[in-house]
Structure 1
Amino acid sequence: MNLIARSRPDDSLAATREAAAELLSTRTPKFSLPQPLYTDERLYALDLQEIFEKEWLFAGLTCEIPAKGNFMTLQIGDNPILIVRGNDGTVHGFHNVCRHRGSRLCAAEKGKVAKLVCPYHQWTYELDGRLLFAGDMGPDFNASDYGLKPIHVATAGGYIFISLAEQPADNSEFLAQLEHYLAPHGMDNVKVAAESHIIEEANWKLVVENNRECYHCNGSHPELMNSLLEFDDTEDVRATPAYKAQVARMRDKWDGLNAAWQLQFFGKQNRLTRTPLKEGASSMTLDGQPGCKRLMGDLTDAEMGALRILHLPNSWNHFMADHGVTFRILPLGPQQTMVTTKWLVHKDAVEGVDYDPEQLRKVWDATNLQDRRITEDNQRGINSMAYQPGPYSETFEFGVIDFVDWYSERMLSNLSDETPSLQLAQG
Structure 2
Amino acid sequence: MNQHDLLNVRHASLNEAKTAMTNMLEKRPSNYSLDAQLYNDPHMFRIDMEEVFQKEWLFVGMTSEIPKKGDYITVEIGQNPVLILRDGEGNVNAFHNTCRHRGSILCTEHRGKVANLVCPYHQWTYDLKGNLLFAGTEMNKDFDMKQHGLKSAFCKTGGGFIFVCLGETEPTDEFDDFLVTLDEYMEPYDVENTKLAVESTMYERANWKLVLENNRECYHCSGSHPELLHTLLEWDDTEDPRATQDFLEHYAQQSNQWDAEGIPHKLKSFGEVQRNRIVRMPLKKSTKVMTIDGTAASTKMLGRIKNPELGSMRILHLPNSWNHMQSDHFIAFRVLPVSAQETIVTTKWFVHKDAVEGIDYETDTLRKVWDATNEQDKVLGERNQLGINSIGYQPGPYSETYEFGVINFLDWYSSTVQKNLNTK
Displacement of 1:332 after TM fit?
0.6
CA distance in 2, matches of 1:61, 1:161: 9
**Aligned with 2:81: secondary structure?**
strand
Is 1:109 paired with 2:110?
yes
1:161 pairs with 152, 158, 163, which one?
163
CA distance in 2, matches of 1:142, 1:320: 51
Q: 1:142 — aligned with what?
A: 144
CA distance in 1, matches of 2:52, 2:236: 28
1:217 pairs with 215, 221, 224, which one?
221
CA distance in 2, matches of 1:301, 1:14: 55
Is 1:197 paired with 2:198?
no
Deviations 1:110-131 (A, max 9, x none): 0111110111111000110000
- Would you say the 8 A contact 2:30–2:410 is kept in 1? no
Q: 1:99 — aligned with what?
A: 100
CA distance in 1, matches of 2:157, 2:352: 19
**Aligned with 1:399: secondary structure?**
helix
Displacement of 1:232 after TM fit?
3.2
Displacement of 1:68 after TM fit?
0.8
Residue type of the partner of 2:405?
A: G
- Structure 2: give runs of 5+ residues left out of the alignment: 1-8
Displacement of 1:240 after TM fit?
0.7
**Aligned with 1:313: secondary structure?**
coil
Q: 1:65 — aligned with what?
A: 66
Displacement of 1:9 after TM fit?
5.8
Q: 2:389 — aligned with what?
A: 383
CA distance in 1, matches of 2:59, 2:10: 33
> TM (normalized to structure 2)?
0.95
Deviations 1:10-46 (A, max 9, x none): 7343222111101111112200000000000000000
**Aligned with 1:104: secondary structure?**
coil
Q: 2:3 — aligned with what?
A: none
Residue type of the partner of 1:193?
A: A
CA distance in 2, matches of 1:141, 1:29: 55
What pairs up with 1:13-412 in 2 under 5 angstroms?
13-135=14-136, 136-170=138-172, 171-267=175-271, 268-412=274-418
CA distance in 2, matches of 1:266, 1:364: 27
Q: 1:424 — aligned with what?
A: none
Deviations 1:51-90 (A, max 9, x none): 0001100001111111111111111111110111111111
RMSD of aligned Cα (Å): 1.0
Q: 1:423 — aligned with what?
A: none
**Aligned with 1:213: secondary structure?**
coil
**Aligned with 2:184: secondary structure?**
helix
Q: 2:4 — aligned with what?
A: none
% same residue:
52
- Would you say the 8 A contact 2:153–2:166 is kept in 1? yes
CA distance in 2, matches of 1:145, 1:29: 48
CA distance in 2, matches of 1:173, 1:234: 22
CA distance in 2, matches of 1:234, 1:181: 18
CA distance in 1, matches of 2:236, 2:103: 47
- Structure 1: give runs of 5+ residues left out of the alignment: 1-7, 419-427
- Structure 1 stretches of 4+ moved >4 Å: none
> TM (normalized to structure 1)?
0.95
CA distance in 1, matches of 2:258, 2:307: 11
**Aligned with 1:71: secondary structure?**
strand
**Aligned with 2:422: secondary structure?**
helix
- Would you say the 8 A contact 2:290–2:369 is kept in 1? yes
Residue type of the partner of 1:80?
A: P
Between stretches 141-150 and 83-92, larger displacement belongs to 83-92
**Aligned with 2:308: secondary structure?**
coil
